[in-house]
């Protein structure tokens, strides 16, 4: 069963057995919250000031590419592939849906390379003056038969601003 989580003007429905981790440094203007699934897959909502993002990036695509490049720069990642999944309307805004697969390096703590999948949605909300990044970090692929479907189910419940109804 899902329950609504709401803070700082946005809301999202999450399964009631997911654990919530709220960053102590969060502010209304900028922050993130992570939801841990039963098998420790992670669903994040991050937000920040839209005006600052628009000063730093010429487009939403450029902002998304910068986010993805952080994963590529991780020393534990040996290979990465990004699939642009197109746009998706969320609360009347066009968001960029992206799928990233990353292969981890074999190392001291990991005897075999690990694979990781990340589904993300980057969006701007002029109504709230914020940008949002929703992403799901899949570490245990067996938890969800349809990873994209699970991510889109969470995204489908996301509200970035009050619409005046319900």
Give the up-direction half-sphere exposure of residue 165: CA atoms within 13 A in the CB hemisphere.
2
Inside any domain, residue 164: no
Determine the pLDDT at residue 14.
96
Each residue's pLDDT, cut to its tens digit, for the chain (166 residues) gives 999 999 999 999 999 999 999 989 999 999 999 999 999 999 999 999 999 999 999 999 999 999 988 877 777 777 888 988 899 999 999 999 999 988 877 665 556 557 788 999 999 999 999 999 999 999 898 999 999 999 999 999 999 987 655 4
Q: State which residues form the domain around 13.
A: 2-155
Domains of the chain: total: 1
Does residue 161 fall inside a structural domain?
A: no
Q: What is the rounded CA–CA span in Å between residue 78 and residue 56?
A: 28
Residue 165 included in any domain: no
CATH code of residue 51: 3.40.1000.10
Supply the pLDDT for residue 136. Answer: 96
Is 95 inside any structural domain? yes
Sign, CA torsion 65/94/124/157: negative
Phi, psi torsion values for 134, nearest 5 degrees: -110, 130
- Which pLDDT score, from 0 to 100, does residue 164 have? 57
The answer to whether residue 116 sits within a structural domain is: yes
Q: Quick check: is 12 in a domain? A: yes
For residue 137, what pLDDT is reported? 93
Determine, yes or no, domain membership for 24: yes
**What is the reported pTM?**
0.89
108 contact partners, CB below 8 Å, separation of at least 6: none
In a domain? residue 162: no
């Amino acid at each position: 069963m899902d329950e609504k989580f709401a803070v700082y003007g946005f809301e999202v429905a999450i399964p009631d057995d997911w654990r919530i981790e709220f960053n102590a440094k969060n502010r209304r203007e900028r922050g993130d919250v992570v939801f841990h699934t039963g098998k420790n897959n992670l669903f994040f909502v991050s937000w920040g000031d839209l005006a600052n993002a628009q000063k730093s990036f010429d487009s939403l695509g450029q902002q998304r590419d910068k986010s993805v490049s952080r994963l590529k720069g991780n020393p534990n990642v040996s290979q990465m592939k990004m699939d642009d999944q197109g746009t998706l309307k969320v609360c009347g805004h066009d968001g960029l849906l992206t799928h990233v697969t990353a292969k981890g390096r074999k190392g001291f703590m990991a005897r075999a390379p690990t694979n990781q999948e990340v589904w993300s949605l980057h969006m701007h909300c002029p109504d709230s003056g914020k940008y949002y990044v929703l992403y799901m970090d899949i570490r245990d692929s067996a938890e969800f038969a349809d990873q994209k479907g699970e991510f889109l189910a969470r995204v489908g419940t996301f509200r970035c601003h009050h619409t005046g109804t319900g």
